[in-house]
Amino acid sequence: MLQKYMSLALENKNASGKRFIVTTESPYPFQEIAKILKSNGYDKVSTKISSKFFAKFYW
């Protein structure tokens, strides 16, 4: 169900620049969401995992 709403928001020109809050009964990791987007044809999504060191350095 989550991927349906993500795809609809990405394909709708009226949704450009807007934010949508979608909730589910269970949490989804960002990498899982990225995989869902990639499997639906969105090529500009990264599924790489950054290191904890880089995350601490960046923030």
User: Against a cut of 0.85, is the pTM above it?
Assistant: no
Tokens representing 36 are: 């869902």
Residue 55 has a pLDDT of: 64
Residue 3: pLDDT over 80: no
Q: What is the mean pLDDT of residues 42-46?
A: 83
Residue 54 has a pLDDT of: 65
Buried b (16+ CB within 10 A) or exposed e, 41-55: eeeeeeeeeeeeeee
Residue 1 has a pLDDT of: 65
